[in-house]
Structure 1
Amino acid sequence: MTVFLKQRFLLLFVCLCGQFLSACGQATLPPGLVYCSEGNPESFNPQLVTSGTTIDATSHQIYSRLVNYNPDLGDIVPGLATDWQISEDGLSYTFNLRHNVMFHQTQRFKPQRVFNADDVLFSFNRIIDTQHPYHWVSRTGYPFFQSISFEQLISSIEKVNDYQVIFHLNREDASFLSNLATDFAVILSAEYADKLLKDGAPEQIDLQPIGTGPFQLTQYIKNEYIRYIRHPNYWGTTPEIEHLVFDITPKSTARIAKLITGDCSVSALPKAGELAVINQHKHIKVDAKPGLNVAFWALNTQKPPLNDIRVRRALAHAIDKQNILDVVYNDIAVEANGILPPASWAYSANLASNEYDPAKAKLLLEQAGVNNLDIDVWAMPVARIYNPNALKTAELIQGDLAKIGVKINIISYDWSVFTQKLASDDYDSVLIGWNADNSDPDNFFTPLLSCAALSSNNNRSKWCQADFDHLLTQAQNTTVREDRKAFYQAAEAILNDQVPLIPIAHAQKVILKKDTITSMQVRPYGGIAFAKIVQNHQESK
């Protein structure tokens, strides 16, 4: 189908959907803001996942963190901690906590106290202490924290008084504060946890969440919507919008239709070819910003023949990345030679690339003695910031690999099933990616490719190398940026040589919104946030 016909088809789809949605959609939604979301969350606790769909639905809506990352300043700023001090040896971080912070109040739970040090200890001891009564409540573990060896980094967490805690570290770690500012490092209610434990329902802490964030969860219907209401006692600036709805709409065309007809005010993750249609509607605005992300093809290096470096290099040389950029991303991404995007301060501009060279790919396969290679490629069924269409990417790779005699079988599942099955080792390869939570380069390396990330199932390549891990440790043990940069660039060179994964693209972060929406910042990293959105009452037609 030509691009012209696709655009005509989308316009027809929008018109038909508009007639249907305007008749029955808006009347069923409460006043406030509706966000067209692409999928169901796996949990309502971001400590338990690394999925962007779950992060969007939870981290910045329901919860708060001790510290936050300011994208404008590029620095760590106060959150539930008003300030902090670091000891001279870099092994102790003392946090002074904010007073009079209220947790959400629901029919199930009415807090009897405000936020204090007990909540900090509960939130992190649950992760690092295997004897903690809540540690094993999570069946998925704590993938981000396990991948960065958080439990080995923390010696203890000390409560000085109700409003002061000290994190004691076993070694220096320049990325420690940045990791506390990630979307995963949220603060839970210890009082709520105690109540659920007495009620014999501890698992509800991750399903019926209580936080200190700007919105509280009121209702979730799988495959339909998530509803939130404004937290009346939020410690920060009170959100303007009273109701927030995540309208779960997996199909990109349906999200655009709802945006155009007014059933959604904000949407994300458009397919590249759909932006031309959006540009025909003056009341829809496109905000884009270079993102700190990477889309990649992870190869299971523990499965023969993918454990052979010659085979992995052959696959890297066989992929026409420029074609993928043209078809899948249009002009909203740049080619990835490594996992760090150009916006990173540790980016390697002169990194050698595994350039597109089918002849070289064939020769490498011959040298490896591999014939009639048959590979399964798992492709995400939902759009993500780093890849708006993984299935189309898989099809293009399938075509490229056929030219060198390699058969590609494309496999996909419903998003919840897809993420569950990834926890096993039973796949050849997977098209996936990573959206960083801050600008620290370690956020790309350690959670994705460290040996510790193997046990958390966040290392999709099942690859572990001592020299690589040693470089990451050296980078964490110094605060001198130029030294850290050299260590990360050396680590990137190892990745480029060993090819446990094939980087494909660094995409812009694109948000679609009605022109009535103002003061919505497009964050280059982390999940979406709605607390500071302002809505006007007039829009252009």
Structure 2
Amino acid sequence: MKGKCAIWFIFMLLCMLFLAACSGDGGAKTDKAEEESGGASEEGTKGEKEATANEEQVLVFGRGGDSVSLDFASVSDGESLRVTENIYESLLDYDKESFEVVPGLAHDWEVSDDGLRYTFFLEEGVTFHDGTPFNAEAVKVNFERWADPEHTYAFADEGYAYPLYGSMFGGYKGDEAHNIKEINIVNDYEVEFVLNAPQGPFLQNMAMSYFAMTSPTALEKYGSTINENPVGTGPFKFVSWSKNDQIVLEKNANYHKEGLPKLDQIIFEVIPENSARLIALRSGEVDIIDGINPDDAASIESEEGLDLYVRGENNIGFLGMNVEKEPLNDKLVRQAINYAVDTDAIVEALYAGYATTAANLIPPNYLGYNDELEPYAHDVEQAKELLAEAGYADGFEMDLWVMPVSRPYMPDPETVAEIVQSNLQEIGITTNIVREEWAPYLEKTGKGEQDLYLLGWSGSNGDPDYFFDSLLHGDSIGGENRSFFQNDEVDKLIDQAGAEIDQDKRAALYKQVQTILHEEVPGVNIVHSTPLVAAKNKVKNFIPHPSTSDPLEEVEIATE
């Protein structure tokens, strides 16, 4: 019946010569609207959306999972940052297509000769979405709430934590390694950061989305519910959040960059299945999607009306191991699993040429990449020998946790899990698949409930420190170090590299880290992907950023 209605509707539009107004909306979105409205007609819902599209610049972004929180510094998932990137701004920013540091809320900066003092000169006349002036005091409030668990706006009693702050700046207030000694307000538009020791990636870190500015007034007003009431200085203002459905943003009419943003509204819509997202794009329900199955790339590229975008290689997809749990606490068992998992087969089967097999945690284009190391070969006999040497000749049973969402580094985690499960069965390891919703998945793996788990990491600042310090430093256990891996030598090398200003020396230190990790193997490095994005060709000025958090202030919808 629905098909007949759609044909009749199109016929009527043709007869009335209004074909140009038809955007092709329908399918899953219309069904959902009918269900939630108690039976609104397909034609009525579609007509309302088309009228809105004609009157306003509205972009619908289809994505695989919901945000975990809109308090950006308290989370690390890409789906949260995808949204907050467009609500908030940091003191510094990145170039549109790379991680080159450019001005943000600070239009300029100075660094002392000893590398211990950074002075930022702030843009004047900028206001938060609630009208609160942006100034040096706001900068200090934001950084102090992340640094001090006792701060009024840290909301530690409500379970908030800021793991990426701890990773990027050496810990928290009171910690010996915490590197931000003090923050001094020089005047309303000048703020000075004093460090305890030089820090190689300090400016890179200051441009990260995790360290953007929230309105102090909003922190006072909303308290711990700031995660659902974001107030920044960015090009778009928060409107609403329907969990596991959509987040709506609207144009910030008082944005400090003249002529921007060009869109009136952005709708981030959750469509979990990759194939369903592509159908929604083709039908006109959404305008842009990520999480493309690589096998669909060729057809998208050749399809009239669609554009295919390829992000830069900037991630790692891996099989993590909780090394605190037996028998994964035995290095021989971990090495056996590395030999058992056929990473080449996974990359060949699932990425259609848009990926490379990973030898190291960091991508090949990163500072300090160790190109002398090779991925573990798929060698079943070697894996069995190592298991026998470890005392597990008859194998064992354990859980394998699988992400419920498509991610840029792993668009099809279910199939990856099936391949891993089959590979491990060959050497006598039986795995039980465990599935959780996205937020509980991150929470529970952070607490260490898992044995094996699939996950990954996309670079947010273009620096190797973000990978090594966040994922495998002992101080990051309880945060992003879900492998619970701790190695004193690795920690020391990471700390030395983070404090080193000379980039050649930093590179040498990171190469040493990778050599140790190749032996200790706290996980199986599977893949570095070049993620795909597809959009209707009416979407203009979209530039996919390698971080996967795309600024959308310059995007617009072409009108016919």
Compute the TM-score of the two structures, normalised by the length of structure 1. Answer: 0.91
Q: Which residue of 2 aligns with 1:207?
A: 228
Q: Which secondary structure state, in structure 2, belongs to the residue aligned with residue 172 of structure 1?
A: coil
In structure 1, C-alpha distance between the alignment counterparts of 2:86 and 2:262, rounded to whole Å: 13
Note the C-alpha offset of 1:343. Answer: 2.0
Aligned to 2:122: 97
Describe the shift of the 1:353–1:517 C-alpha distance in structure 2 as closer, same or farther (beyond 3 A): same
Change over 3 Å in CA distance of 1:18–1:416 after alignment to 2: closer
Tell me the CA shift for residue 15 of structure 1.
Answer: 10
CA offset at residue 277 of structure 1?
Answer: 4.4
The correspondence for 2:287, drawn from 259, 265, 277, is 265
**AA matched with 1:230:** K
Instruction: State which of 99, 109, 112 in structure 2 corresponds to 1:84.
Output: 109
Q: Structure 1 pair 527/256, CA: closer, same or farther in 2 (3 Å)?
A: same
Alpha-carbon deviation of 1:73? 6.4
Asked if residue 314 in structure 1 is aligned to residue 353 in structure 2, the reply is: no
Output the amino acid matched with 1:444. F
Whole-Å Cα distance in 2 between the matches of residues 220 and 503 of structure 1? 35
Q: Is the 8 A contact 2:98 2:546 kept in 1?
A: no
- Determine if the alignment matches structure 1 residue 377 to structure 2 residue 400: yes
Deviation at 1:162, TM superposition (A): 1.1
Counterparts in 2 of 1:254 and 1:526: CA distance versus 1, 3 Å: closer
1:141-173: CA deviation from partner (whole Å, max 9, x where unpaired)? 112112332421111111121111111111111
Q: Does 1:288 align with 2:288?
A: no
The DSSP-based 3-state class of the residue aligned with 1:61 is coil
Equivalent residue number for residue 526 of structure 2: 504
Distance (whole Å) between structure 2 residues aligned to residue 16 and residue 118 of structure 1: 49
Per-residue deviation, 1:71: 5.2
2:19 corresponds to: none
* Contact 2:65 2:406 survives alignment (8 Å): no
Structure 1 segments unaligned to the other structure (5+ residues): 1-13, 106-110
Q: Does 1:175 align with 2:201?
A: yes
Q: Against the structure 1 CA distance between its residues 388 and 447, is the aligned structure 2 distance closer, same or farther, given a 3 Å change threshold?
A: same
2:375 to 353, 362, 366: 353
Q: Within 5 A, what are the aligned runs for 1:185-224? A: 185-194=211-220, 196=221, 201-224=222-245
Output the amino acid matched with 1:202: G
Which stretch shows the higher mean deviation, 435-444 or 293-302? 435-444
CA distance in 2: counterparts of 1:274 and 1:535, whole angstroms: 24
Question: Which residue of structure 2 lines up, in the alignment, with residue 244 of structure 1?
Answer: 266
Residue of structure 1 aligned with 2:452, choices 418, 421, 429: 429
- The one-letter code of the counterpart of 1:358 is V
Q: CA deviation at 1:276?
A: 4.5
- 2:79 corresponds to which residue? 53
| Deviation per residue, 1:364-383 (Å, 9 max, x gap) | 00000013311211111100
Q: Is the 8 A contact 1:430 1:460 kept in 2?
A: no
* Aligned residue number for residue 250 of structure 2: 229
Whole-angstrom CA distance in 2 between matches of 1:140 and 1:536: 42
Aligned AA for 2:406? A
Shift of 1:280: 5.5
2:300 pairs with one of 278, 282, 285: 278
Residue 160 and residue 500 in structure 1: after superposition, are their counterparts in 2 closer, same or farther (change >3 A)? Answer: same
Distance, in Å, in 2 between the alignment partners of 1:493 and 1:139 is 37
Alignment-derived partner of residue 186 in structure 2: 160
Contact kept, 8 Å, 2:368 with 2:511, in 1: the verdict is yes
Q: How many residues align?
A: 512
**8 Å Cα contact 1:18-1:257 kept in structure 2:** no
Contact 2:155–2:224, Cα closer than 8 Å, also in 1: no
Partner Cα distance (1:446, 1:278) in 2? 38
More off after superposition, 130-139 vs 183-192: 130-139
Q: 1:25 to 1:452 in 2, by over 3 A?
A: farther
1:145 alignment counterpart:
165
Give yes or no for contact 2:355–2:530 (8 Å, CA) kept in 1. Answer: yes
Considering only aligned residues, what root-mean-square deviation do their CA atoms show, in Å?
2.0
Displacement after TM superposition at 1:78 (Å)? 0.8
Q: Work out the CA distance in 2 between the residues paired with 1:321 and 1:130.
A: 41
- 394 and 88 in structure 1: CA distance in 2 versus 1, 3 angstrom threshold: same
Look up the SS of the partner of 1:479 in the other structure: coil
Q: Cα distance 1:215–1:507, how it changes in 2: closer, same or farther (>3 A)?
A: same
The Cα of 1:279 is off from its aligned counterpart by 4.2
Alignment check: 8 A CA contact 2:30 2:45 kept? no
Q: Please say which of residues 180-189 and 325-334 is displaced more in the overlay.
A: 325-334
Q: Kindly, what percent of the aligned residue pairs are identical?
A: 30
Picking from 117, 140, 150, the partner of 2:136 is 117
Q: Tell me if structure 2 keeps the 8 A contact 1:182–1:526.
A: no
Deviations 1:446-504 (A, max 9, x none): 11111111132x10110011111111122122222111111111111111110011110
Q: Which residue of 2 aligns with 1:3?
A: none
Q: Is the CA contact 1:294–1:506 (under 8 Å) kept in the aligned structure 2?
A: yes
Distance 1:416 1:297 in 2: 19
* 3-state DSSP of counterpart to 2:507: helix
The one-letter code of the counterpart of 1:227 is: V
Match status 1:462 vs 2:484: yes
SS in 1 for 2:530: strand
User: In terms of mean alpha carbon deviation, does 74-83 or 487-496 score higher?
Assistant: 74-83
Identify the residue that residue 367 of structure 1 maps to in structure 2: 389
Return the index of the structure with the highest Cα Rg: 2
Give the drift of 1:72. Answer: 4.6
SS in 2 for 1:290: coil
Displacement of 1:24: 6.7
Moved more, 41-50 or 421-430: 421-430
* Alpha-carbon distance in 2 for matches of 1:147, 1:296: 20
- Cα distance per residue 1:29-81 (max 9 Å; x no partner): 443111112222111111010111111121x2110000012255652111011
Q: 1:24 to 1:401 in 2, by over 3 A?
A: farther
Moved more, 65-74 or 44-53: 65-74
Gaps of 5+ in 2: 1-24, 33-41, 173-177
Structure 1 377/26 Cα, relative in aligned 2: closer, same or farther at 3 Å?
farther
Secondary structure of the 2:194 match is strand
What TM-score does the superposition give when structure 2 sets the normalisation length? 0.88
1:298 lines up with 2:317 in the alignment: no
**CA distance change for structure 1 residues 533 and 362 in 2, over 3 Å: closer, same or farther?**
same
- Contact 1:335 1:504 (8 Å CA) reproduced: yes
- The alignment partner of 1:305 has SS state of coil
Q: 1: CA distance between counterparts of 2:236 and 2:73? A: 18
How far apart are residue 309 of structure 1 and its match?
A: 0.2
Change (3 A) 1:190 1:69: same
1:290-313 superposed Cα distances (whole Å, 9 cap, x missing partner) = 321000111000001100000000
CA change 1:424–1:303 in 2 (3 A) is same
